[in-house]
Structure 1
């Protein structure tokens, strides 16, 4: 065998070792950051990469069991691999259920964002429950900028939903149980249960039922 083969084997071994060590390191640092930010979390989470957190002392952030997140340069190799961002403003409440997986997301909560159990959210998805700026030019352009007219509305992602990568979910949206949002979509209206939506703006494509296959066949 050629020397390049052995070099590649060593490289692959070092890379494997890095990922094994990174998991433990990410978990430890993430625990510390969750604790400092007052996050109500379970210690059975799996993290690759260190999340960015900015949780106001008058905000709430809770995470259920078996949370899984990926983020950063080496742990989310799907393009635009940023770290995960979790931001909760004063009075905001962000709730993540059990068995939720996310990759390089940015979730910005000024009002209320609720993510149900068994939800999967693809790379570079952003979820905003606020407009950030006023819709009125005089307020936006005032110095300092006036934020008293900024609108916020809750976002709800129900159990079993799947959000494709690079999706934008805006304020006031509910995504139904087991529904699917296609990659790259912009969602500004609610999606019923068991439907597939995609596009900019996201529109109805079809029901999920033709794709449903039971996990176990019954007699």
Structure 2
């Protein structure tokens, strides 16, 4: 074995040790952050990296069984990686179901965001149930800015949905059961069950059963 080979093997071993320790460290720190923010959660979650949380005292955030997340550049090497952001404003309600996985996401909840069971959410996906600013120029450009006309609507993602990476989901949207959203999509209208949508803006591509038939026929 050459010295270069030995150095590379040692480097790889260090990486394995780091990622194994990061899992335990992340779990301890994230558990404490969940507790500080009043999050209702199960201790069986798996996390790599530390999420950012900002849960208002009058907001609610609950997480189901077997939740897993990747947060930060060393745990989500898919490009445009960031820490996970979970933000709930006063009166907001963010609910994540059982067996949900996500990577470097941002969930910003001013009204209601509900994610069902067995949902997979790709890297750098953001979900906003609010416009953040008024749609009226007079209010938006006032100093200080007024929130007249600020709109919020619930976002619902049903069981089994798969959201491709770098997707933006806007207020008032429902993603149907087992539906798929293609990577890089901007979704501002609801998607029925068992359909594939993609694009900016996202449009209907085909039903999921057609894809299954193609796979079975190969």
Per the TM superposition, whether the score is higher than 0.5 is yes
C-alpha separation between the residues in 2 aligned to 1:154 and 1:121? 18
Residues 33-85 of structure 1: CA distance to partner in whole angstroms, max 9, x if unpaired?
A: 00000000000000001000000000000000000000101000001110000
Runs of 4+ in 1 over 2 A off after TM superposition: 210-213
Instruction: Quote how far apart the aligned CAs of 1:179 are.
Output: 0.2
Corresponding position: 1:169 with 2:169: yes
Match of 2:155 in 1: 155
C-alpha separation between the residues in 2 aligned to 1:86 and 1:212? 34
Instruction: Quote how far apart the aligned CAs of 1:134 are.
Output: 0.3
C-alpha separation between the residues in 2 aligned to 1:149 and 1:61? 26
TM-score by length of structure 2 reads 0.96
TM-score by length of structure 1 reads 0.96
Match of 2:64 in 1: 64
| Contiguous gaps of at least 5 residues in structure 1 | 214-219
C-alpha separation between the residues in 2 aligned to 1:196 and 1:119? 15
Instruction: Quote how far apart the aligned CAs of 1:211 are.
Output: 3.0
Count of residues paired in the alignment = 213
- Written as runs of structure 1 = structure 2, the 5 A alignment for 1:198-213 is 198-212=198-212
- Written as runs of structure 1 = structure 2, the 5 A alignment for 1:93-108 is 93-108=93-108
Residues 91-112 of structure 1: CA distance to partner in whole angstroms, max 9, x if unpaired?
A: 0000000000000000000000
C-alpha separation between the residues in 1 aligned to 2:160 and 2:35? 28
Instruction: Quote how far apart the aligned CAs of 1:210 are.
Output: 2.4
Match of 2:126 in 1: 126
Instruction: Quote how far apart the aligned CAs of 1:114 are.
Output: 0.2
C-alpha separation between the residues in 2 aligned to 1:164 and 1:57? 32
The answer on whether the counterparts of 2:136 and 2:148 sit within 8 Å (CA) in structure 1 is no
Alpha-carbon RMSD: 0.8
C-alpha separation between the residues in 2 aligned to 1:88 and 1:103? 18
Q: Any idea what SS the aligned residue of 1:35 has?
A: helix
| Contiguous gaps of at least 5 residues in structure 2 | 214-218
Instruction: Quote how far apart the aligned CAs of 1:143 are.
Output: 1.1
